[in-house]
Amino acid sequence: MIRLQDIKNNNDIKALIEGANKTLEVLGYTEHGIRHVTRVSNTAAKILRVLGYPSSLVELAAIAGMMHDIGNCINRKNHGIAGANLLFPILLKMKMPMEDIVYIISAIGSHEEQYGSPVNEVSAALIIADKIDAHRTRIRKGIPFDPGNIHNRVNFSIKKNWLEIDKEKMNLRYEMIMDMNVSCPMDFLEIYSTRMRMCEDAASFLNCSFELVINKFVLNKPNYKIQ
């Protein structure tokens, strides 16, 4: 089985990750490099591990997370599909089993909100891990903070965030602490509401509920029942 470390050691994949991040830097997007993909990789793997999925799927989730954004080196639009196509010959060359390749490319090809949806366990974990990575460390260093840029303003305002995975209650709770002097929940929802709905769908695929909590206030209540 191809392991996460094999992916990290592959020079072609490393070049694609770096190239994608540089392209997005030119376009004015937040950080999408090693910091982001490593966090997504770790979180996607943790979700499946804590929920009790097989170790083979946990490893595939980690691998998908590490490579999910490489399609940005071609174009920001449809970068999930582009990334899946780029990876297919690379993973074949690495002699990854076709069954594992299918998990990887379907997850990467379906992780964007414009056209994506959870299609397997790895895909669901990747969607959640990717969409919840909003934090001030995503602001690129060396670039003056622009309060007029809502993406920068929202990310910079998030001082702390974490994902609580409750296997007993089958609930995923995404919680953050925002600096209200910089931004506010309304700003966050303006750019992240579609992504949070996608997280709800992905959590449902894993038979879980998904909660969004900002400054200790629950902004959604999925799967509620009318008494």
pLDDT for res 144: 72
pTM: 0.94
How far apart CA 42 and CA 110 sit, in angstroms, is 19
In this structure, the chain runs to a length of 227
The type of residue at 83 is: G
- More confident call, 209 vs 227: 209
How far apart CA 21 and CA 87 sit, in angstroms, is 17
pLDDT for res 82: 96
pLDDT tier at 58, thresholds 50, 70, 90: very high
Contact 104, 119 (CB under 8 A): no
Across all residues in the chain, what is the average pLDDT? 93
The type of residue at 32 is: H
- Other Cβ atoms less than 10 A from the Cβ of 223: the count is 12
Q: What percent of the chain has pLDDT over 90?
A: 83
- Other Cβ atoms less than 10 A from the Cβ of 164: the count is 13
Report the DSSP beta bridge partners of residue 165. 172
Report the DSSP beta bridge partners of residue 217. 214
- Does the structural domain 4-218 have CATH classification 1.10.357? no
What are the extents of the domains in the chain? 4-218
User: Within its chain, how far is the Cα of 31 from the centroid?
Assistant: 13
pLDDT tier at 145, thresholds 50, 70, 90: confident
pLDDT tier at 222, thresholds 50, 70, 90: low
